[in-house]
Amino acid sequence: MAKLLIIGYGNPARGDDALGPLVAEHIESLKSLRHWQHIDVLTAYQLQIENVMDLVDYQTVLFIDADSQIKSPYLLTRCQPEVGQSYTSHALTPDALLAVYQQVYKTAPPACYLLKIAGHAFELGQPLSSIATENLRLAKAFVEQFCQRSEQVVLFDDCEMMALSTTYA
């Protein structure tokens, strides 16, 4: 069975920015109940250059983050190694992290996807907005299905991933 890493990132103290960690924590709570020993879960405030080491030995990585720009409840995209402006800052995008992976390990990174969940209120000290709460429910259902499918499939191809994501959107 292929190893899967889920990384939910965002600041739980900033309203809807908590969406990524909340989905990751939900999957962590299900791991023992569902016997998902092939799945590991991490949460972080932001992606750092050091996270490149976390990707080693995984066949698939699912990054999860809140996003204020998308119109659907969530959006799944394939990550591609790309050096961006964030490459030299303290916080990286998943694409920039994959570029670092290639540079450090001199090999292609695992198959990586970014699940963006629509959020609208990112103010410090605010709870999740009502819209984000509903989007969280939908995203949890999608990621649960993704984890269940990972038990049966060695590695998703992009078409399977995109088809699965539209089923739950």
Cα 105 from Cα 82, distance rounded (Å)? 15
What does the pLDDT read at residue 155? 52
41 HSE (CA, 13 A, CB side): 20
What does the pLDDT read at residue 162? 61
For CA atoms 169, 30, 94, 88, the dihedral sign is positive
What does the pLDDT read at residue 2? 80
State residue 27 phi and psi, 5-degree precision. -65, -40
For residue 52, give both structure tokens: 């490149």
What does the pLDDT read at residue 138? 97
What does the pLDDT read at residue 149? 86
Q: Which residues pair with 42 in a beta bridge?
A: 7
Amino acid code (one letter) for 69:
Q
- CATH fold label, 4-168: Rossmann fold (3.40.50)
Cα 78 from Cα 155, distance rounded (Å)? 14
This prediction has a pTM of 0.89
Give me the residues of the chain with pLDDT under 70, please: 1, 84-90, 153-169
**Domains of the chain by residue range:** 4-168
15 CA to centre of own chain: 18
Can you list the alpha helix ranges (DSSP code H) found in the chain? 19-34, 94-105, 130-152, 158-168
What does the pLDDT read at residue 167? 54
Q: What is each CA distance from 130 to 52, 82, 137, 138, in whole angstroms? A: 34, 34, 11, 13
What does the pLDDT read at residue 5? 97
